[in-house]
A and B are shown apart, each in its own frame.
Chain A
Amino acid sequence: MNNLVKIDKLCFQRDNRFIFNDVDIAIPSGKITAIMGPSGSGKTTLLRLIGGQLLPASGTVTVFDKQVHSLNRKQLYTLRKRMGMLFQSGGLFTHLNVFENVAFPLREHTKLTNAMIRSLVLMKLEMVGLRGARHLMPSELSGGMARRVALARAIALDPDLIMYDEPFSGQDPISMGVLVKLIRTLNDALGLTSVIVSHDVQETLSIADYVYIIGDGKLIGHGTARSISADISEQLKQFIHGLPDGPVPFHYPANKLQQDLIGEQPV
């Protein structure tokens, strides 16, 4: 099984804080890989690094056998045409309706006729179940529907790799169920490689083939979905089971309670 994306010894800093410190991740092709971790662990940053929007301080990110940060602008854009990305807020263009949003990458990058574009867009919308909503404007869509449209747009050019940035956050159970089903079905039906970045443990583990867990800039665990649930390391346990206190502390660092209650005595 070859790896579509290979991340080696990645180091990335922001504001003198190490977001990633010597991280190795391999994303096998044709499978759904989940990258999970607590908030602020840099999961979205990882997707941006894969997509070439950010450059690593050191280490390599290899996608489709090409080192992402050594490409020039044109090569990077060619690479990106093979990737689809679903942003947390959907990222739909507010001045275009649903149909035009999905048609956008087709109009930009292909010379297909209007009739062909129409057929393709209708098929993509059908895949996400929103063909009937094609004339609505993004402002008229619910959050879940907007995400599905964004998904249809992400697969418009039939990419080989698709990345989901927190696809389940803030969704009601039904929308969540729909999205979960869609991600799995699309991955298998279209032979995609999917990368899900999320902190929704239950949903993600239910469809992921392989899981990486990141914390404090390092990998704190990886393995198949089943093996992760049974893992015994403390950090992992707190994360997987959603324990309120553990390696990630409940209390923000502060003085002893008695000191604060007695008050800051004016000297």
Chain B
Amino acid sequence: MMDHVATIGRLGLLALREYGKAGLLLARVVFYPPNLRKGVPLVIQQIYAEGVLSLLIIIVSSLFIGMVVALQGYHTLAKFGASQELGPLVALSVTRELGPVVTAILFAGRAGSAVAAEIGLMKATEQLSSMEMMAVDPLKRVIAPRLWGGFISMPLLTLIFNAVAIYGSYLVGVKWLALDAGTFWSNMQSSVDFRLDVINGIYKSIVFGLVVIWIAVYQGYKSAPTSAGIASATTRAVVYSSLAVLSLDFVLTAMMIGEW
């Protein structure tokens, strides 16, 4: 019996140490004075690799999610004779919850896994070590640009997700289900508050972006330098960030509903 308690305790301490190491990594990257001239092109490259290349999946997913929410929502609202509320239904669902959360999970799956695998591979093939021996700090050259790329890409992707999803719902609601366009947009405008809904959604996406890319970078950095190590690092990056995003979503929503 005591053995089990001891094991739990040991695992807990191990998890705490991991958290601490991850925190130290983040601190070293963020608080190290960056060399802007050399750093900015690297960050731009990473925004391309993480943000631009994720656009395809984000746009396609958001279009279909907007269309599905509109379709499902319409049929339920029609029962209450409230089909003119479809605009607000979709807009609020997307800007408050679906936008930040789904974008974060898709981002974790596409960019997070890529970053974890990349860094793990660089560690396994001794590229990070050779950089160190050439007196180039791999944290500044490899890790930091990927972190900043993630912080910046996530809110931008969320904005695009929101807009495309709402456009998708417009396609289904107005063009297909023949709701009145004027009512659709004006009801939406009167129900959606820019500060409380859109901006809060963006705050969420900033937090999620930080968490997803931080977990991905850390998992890659500490992976075992073998092919099995890289594979498990990639899986863990996706799973942990998805879990973190969903639990943080609840916490943030609770804070926001209580109006901070």
Partner of A88, one of B126, B127, B133, B135: B126
A83 within 8 A of B: yes
Tell yes or no: B125 within 8 A of A by CB.
yes
* A51 CA to B134 CA, complexed, in Å: 10
Q: Are A53 and B133 interface neighbours, CB within 8 A?
A: yes
The one of B130, B135, B137 in contact with A91, judged by C-beta atoms closer than 8 angstroms, is B130
Let me know if B129 is at the binding interface, CB within 8 A: yes
User: Does B136 interact with chain A (Cβ within 8 Å)?
Assistant: yes
Residues of B within 8 A of A90 (CB): 125-126
- When distances are taken between beta carbons in the complex, the residues of chain A under 8 Å from B121 are 94
Q: How far is the CB of B203 from chain A (nearest CB, A)?
A: 34
Partner of B134, one of A53, A88, A94, A105: A105
Partner of A89, one of B126, B134, B135, B137: B126
User: Cβ of A236: which chain B residues have Cβ within 8 Å of it?
Assistant: none
Among A80, A87, A92, contact of B135 (Cβ-Cβ < 8 Å): A80
User: A104 at interface (Cβ–Cβ under 8 A)?
Assistant: yes
Are A78 and B134 within 8 A (Cβ)?
no
Chain B residues, Cβ within 8 Å of A157: 134
Bound form: Cα–Cα A250–B86 in Å:
78
Question: When the two chains form their complex, are residues A51 and B135 in contact, meaning their CB atoms are under 8 A apart?
Answer: no
Q: Are A108 and B136 in contact (CB under 8 A)?
A: yes
A18 at the interface (CB under 8 A from B): no
Report how far A87 CA is from B130 CA in the complex, Å. Answer: 7
A77 and B135 within 8 A (CB): yes
With A89-B125, A91-B125, A94-B125 in contact, is A109–B130 under 8 Å at CB? no
Chain B residues within an 8 Å CB radius of A108? 134-136
User: Smallest distance from the beta carbon of B114 to chain A beta carbons, Å?
Assistant: 13
A83, A91, A93, A153: which has the most chain B beta carbons within 10 Å? Answer: A91
Chain B residues whose CB sits within 8 angstroms of the CB of A94 once the complex forms:
121-122, 125, 127
Contact among B122, B127, B132, B135 for A109, CB-based, below 8 A = B135
Count residues on chain B whose CB falls below 8 Å from chain A CBs: 13
Contact of A91 with B136 in the complex, beta carbons under 8 Å: no
The 0/1 profile, CB within 8 Å of B marked 1, for residues 103-115 of chain A is 0110011000000
With beta carbons under 8 angstroms apart, the residue of B129, B136, B137 that contacts A53 is B129
For A89, the chain B residues whose CB sits under 8 A away are: 125-126
Nearest CB to that of A107 among chain B residues? B38
Is there an interface contact between A91 and B126, defined as CB atoms closer than 8 Å? Answer: yes
Q: Is there an interface contact between B127 and A92, defined as CB atoms closer than 8 Å?
A: yes
Closest chain-A Cβ to B22's Cβ sits at a distance in Å of: 21
For the complex, give the distance between the alpha carbons of A80 and B133 in Å.
Answer: 6
Distance of A87 Cα from B128 Cα, bound (Å): 11
Mask, A46-90, CB within 8 Å of B = 1, is 000001010000000000000000000000011011011101111
Contacts of A105 in B (CB 8 A): 134, 136
Chain A residue nearest to B38 (CB atoms) is A108
Smallest Cβ-Cβ distance to B124: which chain A residue: A89
Nearest-neighbor residue (CB-CB) of A76 within chain B: B135
Q: Which of A51, A92, A93 contacts B133 (CB 8 A)?
A: A51
Distance from A107 Cβ to chain B, minimum over Cβ atoms (Å): 9
Knowing A85-B133, A104-B134, the reply to whether A93 touches B126 (Cβ < 8 A) is: no
Task: Tell me the bound Cα distance from A80 to B125 in angstroms.
Answer: 20
Task: Check B134 against A80 for contact (C-beta < 8 Å).
Answer: yes
Complex Cα gap A109–B136 (Å): 9
Complexed CA–CA distance, A157 and B126 (Å): 20
Nearest CB of chain B from residue A211's CB, rounded to whole Å:
24
A77: B residues at CB distance < 8 A: 135, 137
- B binding-site residues for A, Cβ under 8 Å: 121-122, 125-127, 129-130, 132-137
Report which A residues bind B (CB closer than 8 A).
Answer: 51, 53, 77-78, 80-81, 83-85, 87-94, 104-105, 108-109, 150, 153, 157
Interface pairs A-B: 6 shortest CB-CB: A91-B130, A77-B135, A80-B135, A91-B126, A85-B133, A87-B126
Q: What are 7 A-B interface contacts by the 8 Å CB criterion?
A: A53-B133, A83-B133, A84-B133, A85-B133, A92-B127, A94-B125, A153-B134
